Amino acid sequence: MNVELSEEALAYGSTVRQAFADAGGDRLVRDAELEPAKRESAYAPVLGEVGAWELEPRADGDDLEAAAAVCRASGYWCAAYPVAERLARPADGEVDGLLVVGAPVRAAAVAGLDLRWATVTVDGQRGLVTAVRPDGPPRTTSFVGELEIAATAGDGAGDLALGLVLPCWTLLGMLDRALDLARDHVLVREQFGQRLSSFQGVQFQFTEAEVERAGLEMLGKYALWSVRTRRPSAVADALALRLAAIEAAEVVFRVAHQLHGAIGFCDETQLSWLSRYSQPLRRLPLGLSATRSALVKNIGRQGLPGLFHE
């Protein structure tokens, strides 16, 4: 079992991250809130120029790794665009992306985009989005809108694993950036004549957050390998990854906000934007308790094979 991403995928992720930086970086999400109608034209061409839309993660293992790297890079720059959902699109080409939806509220951060969406529930029921009703302005909703869905025939279990895994890589990219921002903050700020980074309590907090982030990264690689090799436990592995992602996000953002203090909740700092735009990923399609319940229901008494089973 080799769960490490290839050098090519890592290099591609670096290229995508630089492409976002060159296109405006943090300014992109701020502009998207000010002019929601330009969200598609701001993000889609950037990814098109680096060939992201040509990836076929369902058909090729190398493309799957590259897609995960793209999602991580987009999360690092807090991209206000459903990158993972578009990359998880079904192979038939009839829709532009795939959304995993939960109950009772079926919603996704796709309001204002003129795209066609397929859906799949945690139980494997397929559907098509017929309309998206925005719940409010982007400033308060992060582009989340309620979905009107028409059920379709077929088993969506194969869609579900990929649809759950790729957004977790987006959230991983957000955690990467949150820790980078917190690290930069404590390296320059001083208290009692010392840099914040020199205090043992700060170092302990960073250690806790980094352990969570690194653990999520390893589980993300394992779940990606599980999807790539089409293991019977792929959906369970994807749900376990989502559970770990939500828990890691709670720790990392708590630490980052504590180290920033009150300014971390102000839009003058990019941490505020990251924290706000991480909410749809952490709450949809299922929150912490619902994800845990879905995982228990999926694995029953069998348990998970885990990283060290083979």
Tell me what the mean pLDDT of segment 112-136 comes to: 90
pLDDT of residue 299: 85
Q: Return the higher-pLDDT residue of 193 and 277.
A: 277
What is the number of structural domains in the chain? 1
Which residues make beta-bridge pairs with 126? 120
Lowest model confidence (mean pLDDT) among 58-67, 126-135, 173-182: 126-135
Q: Which tens digits make up the pLDDT trace of 257-308?
A: 998 887 788 888 899 999 999 999 999 999 999 999 999 998 876 777 766 5
Q: Is 133 a member of any domain? A: no
Torsion angles phi and psi, residue 240, rounded to 5: -65, -40
Q: Is 251 a member of any domain? A: yes
Band of pLDDT at residue 190, cut at 50, 70 and 90? low
Asked whether residue 227 carries a pLDDT value surpassing 90, the answer given is yes
Q: Is 144 a member of any domain? A: no
pLDDT of residue 307: 62
**Paired tokens of 131:** 């309309």
CATH, residue 245: 1.20.140.10
Tell me what the mean pLDDT of segment 151-162 comes to: 80
Beta strands in the chain (DSSP E): 97-101, 107-108, 117-121, 125-134, 145-155, 190-191, 194-195
Q: Return the higher-pLDDT residue of 110 and 191.
A: 110
- pLDDT more than 90, % of the chain: 68
Asked whether residue 51 carries a pLDDT value surpassing 80, the answer given is yes
Band of pLDDT at residue 309, cut at 50, 70 and 90? low
**CA gap 181, 274 in Å, rounded:** 10
pLDDT of residue 117: 95
Tell me what the mean pLDDT of segment 114-122 comes to: 93
- pLDDT more than 70, % of the chain: 95
Tell me what the mean pLDDT of segment 137-154 comes to: 88
Band of pLDDT at residue 192, cut at 50, 70 and 90? low
Q: Is 146 a member of any domain? A: no
> For the chain, what is the mean pLDDT?
90
What is the domain extent for residue 238? 159-299
Q: Is 51 a member of any domain? A: no
Residue closest to 82 by CA, chosen among 124, 48, 39: 39
Q: Is 188 a member of any domain? A: yes
How buried is 283 (Cβ within 10 angstroms: 0-12 exposed, 13-18 middle, 19+ buried)?
Answer: middle
pLDDT of residue 3: 77
Q: Is 46 a member of any domain? A: no
Asked whether residue 77 carries a pLDDT value surpassing 60, the answer given is yes
DSSP secondary structure of 133-163: EE-S-HHHHTT-EEEEEEEEEEE-HHHHHHH
